């Protein structure tokens, strides 16, 4: 699975910001009418001892959440640590991991933000636009925006607002557990993104896609940092 849109990664901070602003105009906030049989999860981890980073992509069956394929990639950092520009550090190895997949997913859930981003173009949106695939941003913490705490029951949600614009949802995936932050990545509506995150979070706070990708990338990192 290859990116349909390519751009340089080794660019300046200002060039990266300008590129985000340009590509944000391509984000589609409507559902893609394609049946979802396979869902991908994405995560990235950094080595404490070198400039290496590790990306993992897992593929789960959408009905049973069975893990059927996984890929890890080791890469070297190409972009500095700058808040709001994480995708320029993390996506190069993620794209390489997608190129190794044998199975093509119809939806990708990212451990990060989509349009809940200062320039409405977080990692999930960036990946979705490059691959031209439906993506969801699912963050453990808030990047920007204000919200009121949702009800404690599973499935309760509240709007995440930035300057009067709804940029995502604060979603309670398990009763009485801290909510997570869901936003449109690309080619999906916010309501459908919430539905998918709940469907993928049957037992735990985080979607199974994120949990599986996180476990895989930590295993890869441990194997190299030990």
Q: Residue 52's pLDDT is what? A: 87
Share above pLDDT 70 across residues of the chain, in percent, rounded to a whole number: 98
Q: Residue 225's pLDDT is what? A: 58
Which strands, in side-by-side order, build the sheet including 165-171? 67-76, 52-61, 38-46, 107-110, 135-139, 180-186, 165-171, 157-162
Q: What's the mean pLDDT in 20-34? A: 95
Q: Residue 44's pLDDT is what? A: 93
Q: Residue 221's pLDDT is what? A: 79
* CB of 196 closer than 8 Å to CB of 24: no
Lowest-pLDDT range, 44-48, 84-88, 96-100? Answer: 44-48
| CB atoms near residue 175 (< 10 Å) | 11
Q: What's the mean pLDDT in 60-71? A: 97
At 214, the pLDDT band (50, 70, 90 cuts) reads very high
At 184, the pLDDT band (50, 70, 90 cuts) reads very high
Q: What are 113-168's pLDDT values in tens digits?
A: 999 999 999 999 999 999 999 999 999 999 999 999 999 999 999 999 999 999 99
Q: Give the distance from CA 83 to its chain's centroid.
A: 16
Which element (helix H / strand E) includes 160?
strand 157-162
């Amino acid at each position: 699975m290859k990116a349909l849109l390519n751009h340089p990664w080794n660019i300046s901070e200002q060039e990266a910001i300008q590129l985000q602003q340009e590509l944000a105009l391509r984000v589609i906030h409507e559902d893609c009418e394609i049946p979802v049989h396979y869902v991908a999860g994405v995560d990235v981890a950094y080595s404490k001892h070198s400039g290496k980073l590790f990306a993992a992509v897992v593929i789960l069956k959408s009905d049973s959440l069975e893990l059927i394929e996984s890929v890890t990639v080791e890469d070297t950092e190409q972009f500095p640590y700058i808040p709001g520009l994480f995708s320029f550090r993390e996506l190069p190895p993620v794209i390489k991991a997608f190129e190794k997949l044998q199975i093509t997913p119809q939806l990708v859930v990212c451990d990060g933000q989509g349009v809940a981003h200062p320039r409405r173009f977080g990692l999930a949106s960036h990946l979705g636009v490059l691959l031209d695939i439906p993506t969801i941003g699912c963050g453990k913490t808030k990047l920007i925006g204000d919200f009121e705490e949702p009800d404690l029951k599973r499935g309760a949600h509240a709007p995440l607002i930035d300057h009067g614009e709804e940029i995502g949802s604060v979603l309670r995936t398990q009763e009485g557990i801290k909510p997570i932050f869901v936003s449109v990545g690309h080619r999906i509506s916010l309501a459908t993104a919430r539905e998918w995150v709940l469907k993928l979070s049957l037992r735990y706070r985080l979607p199974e896609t994120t949990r599986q990708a996180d476990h895989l990338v930590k295993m890869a990192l441990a194997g190299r940092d030990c």
